[in-house]
Amino acid sequence: MAIFARVSPGRLVGQLSNPLVTDALVLSLKTSAIAQAIVLLVGTPAAYVLATRRFAGRSLAIVLVELPLALPPAVAGIGLIAAFGRLGLLGGTLSSLGVQLGLTQTAVILAVAFVAGPFYLRGAIAAFEAVDQDLVAASRTLGAGRGRTFFRVVLPLARSGLAAGEALAFARGLGEFGATIMFAGSLQGVTQTLPLAIYAEFDLNFTAALAMSALLVVVSAALLVTLRLTLQWQPSRPTSRFRFALSR
Amino acid sequence: MALVGPSGAGKTSVLRVVAGLTRPPRGRVALGDEVWLDTARGVELPPERRRAGLVFQEYALFPHLSVHANVAYGAARRPVGALLERFRISHLADAHPRDLSGGERQRVALARALARRPEVLLLDEPLSALDAHTKAEVRGELAELLRELELPALLVTHDYEDAAALAGEVGVLVEGRLRQLAPPAELVARPRDGFVASFTGANLLRGRAQRGDGELTAIRLESGERLWSADEAEGEVGVVVYPWEVSVARTHAGQADSALNVLRGEIASVVELANRVRVRVGPVTAEVTASSAQRLELARGGVAYATFKATGTRLVPLS
């Protein structure tokens, strides 16, 4: 609220034409969208396996998945550099393939996914564990294979838990700072997301920093609300009646 | 066919193995010529390929789907209107499971299992999730349905009376082993052991049998009384007598009575069941008509004689 008190709406809107601000906004939205898509696509099946299968090393896997939650972002940044950096563990392999990760958008996406992913995974594992296994069994005996059972029974029942987890992950990812600045740097238009731009402008143009902070608040709130509404949306009674009326 | 047994006997496991939800270390499941599971030959069909209609104990209806969508789930796009009609749930088509009563949920679960056109119907404790009032009604409906279906059905229950009412053959399962498999009348007439007898509702008394002179066996009970049976046995035995074979009197008729066995005892309980009364006299339970209970003024605390014939007394191994 203090942010909105410091800057008038006119100046806030005025800053939207500042290329530094628009670059950062576009980059933040783009990298967040891609990073969250990766988190959902990789995290959902991984969480389902961790929630439903009992195998050796499962507890260890869960600890590893949750570890980034406890790590300071700076450590995550160092870790990413040590793994994917030019001189890192996989750096040699990557550069021989002609891939250079440091200081690129891919690096931003990787950092966001790495830091935000565990928030989604945690929520998703809990959501999948809460699905009654008798319902899964019932679906199978009714002729549905594993895949169909997952999409028609497990996913709809876990949906609100998944939405809550993804909302947290999204919020964490959008505000990502430490790991990104260390691993991807802060190049305007390439790796400078909103939080990085705020930090960069803090000394130079405090008004711009304020405007971007306000923008981040608005964007986060809007996206969180949209996400929750989209993922938690369930067919209402009148809608389902309509559907059955068609099928009769 | 029904499997009965105490909890933990492995009844539900049998259903899960047949449906393909649990893999046993060893075993074979086949429907006619179709082998569903044969651990020796490495055959194991997944549940979705087994055509077994399983009705879960708590019904396991999909909470996010309407009644119509639940029933249609396994129907492979075939219309399910006739099934809804048959189970009197058409008016509930748009309702969700949380809005249904126990009896309605069971009808939806049955309709859903049958919509798949299974080749065998599996019922896990089909009556245990219902309250006593609904249960009697649903039991009648279920018995009728199972007769009409012309579909092999395997149901498990811990209640022998439910099993006898619903199944042509009843297997008694204890600790994973089948003790006896027979029509209900046969189980009652010739229980294989003391457990089967007491599970089917008989009185079971422990004693020591000795071949007497003549055609009867004498049994000395642990409590000291002597009973007679027409069965032959020696050593430790269980004396089995069903409540409806036991008469109750306030005085002992002595030699004038054809029933040889007399046990004197205090009346521990008098429980009315519809038009009959169950009276606990000393170690045995007798079943008498409500009118004779009234005539005899049977009440708790009084002394009575329980009498039964030697021919109505079975001798069985204890376990």
User: Which range among A223-227, A244-248, B25-29, B287-291 shows the weakest confidence by mean pLDDT?
Assistant: A244-248
pLDDT higher than threshold 70 for residue A120: yes
By C-alpha distance, the chain A residue nearest B54 is A141
Q: Nearest-CA distance from B75 to chain A in Å?
A: 8
C-alpha distances out from residue A161 to A123, A126, A232, A235, B75, Å: 6, 8, 9, 17, 30
CATH architecture of structural domain B202-316? Beta Barrel (2.40)
Convert the pLDDT of each residue in B251-263 to its tens digit.
Answer: 876 665 666 888 8
Which segments of chain B belong to CATH 2.40.50.100?
Answer: 202-316
Interfacial B residues in 115-144 facing A (CB < 8 Å): 116
B44, B68, B89, B121: best to mutate for the A interface, most A CBs within 10 A: B68
User: Which chain B residues touch A234 with a CB distance below 8 Å?
Assistant: 64
- What length is written for chain B? 319
Q: Chain A within 8 Å of B48 (Cβ-Cβ)? A: yes
Average pLDDT over residues B266-274: 85
The residue whose two tokens read 């079943």 is B287
Q: Chain A within 8 Å of B45 (Cβ-Cβ)? A: no
Average pLDDT over residues B16-40: 91
Residue B67 pLDDT level (bands cut at 50, 70, 90):
very high
CATH architecture of structural domain A2-247? Orthogonal Bundle (1.10)
% of chain B surpassing 90 pLDDT: 34
Average pLDDT, chain B: 88
For residue B235, give every residue at least 6 positions away whose Cβ sits within 8 Å of its Cβ, in sequence order, or none: B208, B209
pLDDT at position A212: 87
Compare CB distances from A144 to B48, B52, B69 and report the shortest one's residue.
B48
Compare CB distances from A141 to B54, B61, B62 and report the shortest one's residue.
B54
Residue B304 one-letter amino acid = A
By C-alpha distance, the chain B residue nearest A159 is B64
User: Which chain B residues touch A152 with a CB distance below 8 Å?
Assistant: 73
Give the pTM.
0.78
Interfacial B residues in 71-90 facing A (CB < 8 Å): 73-74, 76, 81
Give B143 or A8, the one with higher predicted confidence: B143
pLDDT higher than threshold 60 for residue A237: no
Residue B290 pLDDT level (bands cut at 50, 70, 90):
confident
Q: Nearest-CA distance from B33 to chain A in Å?
A: 20
pLDDT higher than threshold 90 for residue A8: no
Q: Chain B within 8 Å of A230 (Cβ-Cβ)? A: no
Residue ranges of alpha helices (H) inside chain B are 11-19, 67-72, 81-86, 102-115, 132-149, 160-166, 184-189, 194-199, 290-295
pLDDT at position B70: 94
A52, A133, A134, A141: best to mutate for the B interface, most B CBs within 10 A: A141
Asked if B50 lies within 8 A of A141 by C-beta distance, the reply is yes
By C-alpha distance, the chain B residue nearest A245 is B94
Convert the pLDDT of each residue in A182-225 to its tens digit.
Answer: 888 888 888 889 899 889 888 888 888 888 888 888 888 887 78
Angle at B317 between CA B312 and CA B319, to 5 degrees: 125
Q: Which has the closest alpha carbon to A126: A62, A172, A60, A55?
A: A62
Residue A241 pLDDT level (bands cut at 50, 70, 90):
very low
Angle at A175 between CA A166 and CA A33, to 5 degrees: 50
Contact B131, B60 (CB under 8 A): no
pLDDT at position B108: 94
d(CA B253, CA B257): 6
d(CA B159, CA B313): 24
Asked if A139 lies within 8 A of B73 by C-beta distance, the reply is yes
B48, B89, B120: best to mutate for the A interface, most A CBs within 10 A: B48
Tokens of B317: 């191994």
Interfacial A residues in 80-139 facing B (CB < 8 Å): 132, 134-135, 137-139
Average pLDDT over residues B261-275: 86
The residue whose two tokens read 């999909």 is B62
C-alpha distances out from residue A239 to A236, B218, B244, Å: 5, 76, 59
Give A97 or B69, the one with higher predicted confidence: B69
pLDDT higher than threshold 90 for residue B114: yes
pLDDT higher than threshold 50 for residue B211: yes
Of the spans A3-12, A94-103, A170-179, B131-140, which averages the highest pLDDT?
A170-179
Tokens of B33: 């010529």
pLDDT at position B256: 57
Q: Chain A within 8 Å of B97 (Cβ-Cβ)? A: no
Q: Which has the closest alpha carbon to A35: A156, A170, A178?
A: A170
Give A147 or B134, the one with higher predicted confidence: A147
Average pLDDT over residues B10-28: 91
Of the spans A198-202, B107-111, B294-298, which averages the highest pLDDT?
B107-111
pLDDT higher than threshold 60 for residue B47: yes
Q: ipTM for the complex?
A: 0.79
d(CA B127, CA B165): 12
pLDDT at position A243: 38
Distance of alpha carbon B114 from the chain centroid: 24
Q: Where are the domains of chain A?
A: 2-247
pLDDT higher than threshold 90 for residue A69: no
Asked if B62 lies within 8 A of A153 by C-beta distance, the reply is yes
The 10 Å CB-count burial string (b at 16+, else e) for B13-45 is bbbbbbbbbeeeeeeebeeeeeebbeeeeeeee
Asked if B50 lies within 8 A of A248 by C-beta distance, the reply is no
Instruction: State the fold for domain B2-189.
Output: Rossmann fold (3.40.50)
pLDDT at position A232: 61
Helix axes A206-232, A19-52, angle to 10 degrees: 40
Convert the pLDDT of each residue in B126-147 to its tens digit.
Answer: 888 888 888 888 888 888 888 8
Convert the pLDDT of each residue in A150-188 to its tens digit.
Answer: 999 999 999 988 988 998 898 889 888 888 888 888 888
Which segments of chain B belong to CATH 3.40.50.300?
Answer: 2-189
pLDDT at position B8: 81
A135, A142, A231: best to mutate for the B interface, most B CBs within 10 A: A142
pLDDT at position B259: 67
pLDDT at position A94: 76
The residue whose two tokens read 């498999």 is B181
Residue B310 pLDDT level (bands cut at 50, 70, 90):
confident
pLDDT at position A246: 38
Compare CB distances from B66 to A138, A139, A240 and report the shortest one's residue.
A240
Give A98 or A56, the one with higher predicted confidence: A56
Angle at B77 between CA B71 and CA B81, to 5 degrees: 50
pLDDT higher than threshold 70 for residue A235: no
Q: Chain B within 8 Å of A145 (Cβ-Cβ)? A: yes
Average pLDDT over residues A226-239: 59
Asked if A142 lies within 8 A of B56 by C-beta distance, the reply is no
Residue A231 pLDDT level (bands cut at 50, 70, 90):
low
DSSP state string for chain A: -HHHHHS-HHHHHHGGG-HHHHHHHHHHHHHHHHHHHHHHHHHHHHHHHHHH---TTHHHHHHHHHHHHHS-HHHHHHHHHHHHSTTSTTHHHHHHTT---TTSHHHHHHHHHHHHHHHHHHHHHHHHHTS-HHHHHHHHHTT--HHHHIIIIIHHHHHHHHHHHHHHHHHHHHT--HHHHHHT---TTTT--HHHHHHHHHHH-HHHHHHHHHHHHHHHHHHHHHHHHHHH----HHHHHHHHHHH-
Q: Chain B within 8 Å of A32 (Cβ-Cβ)? A: no
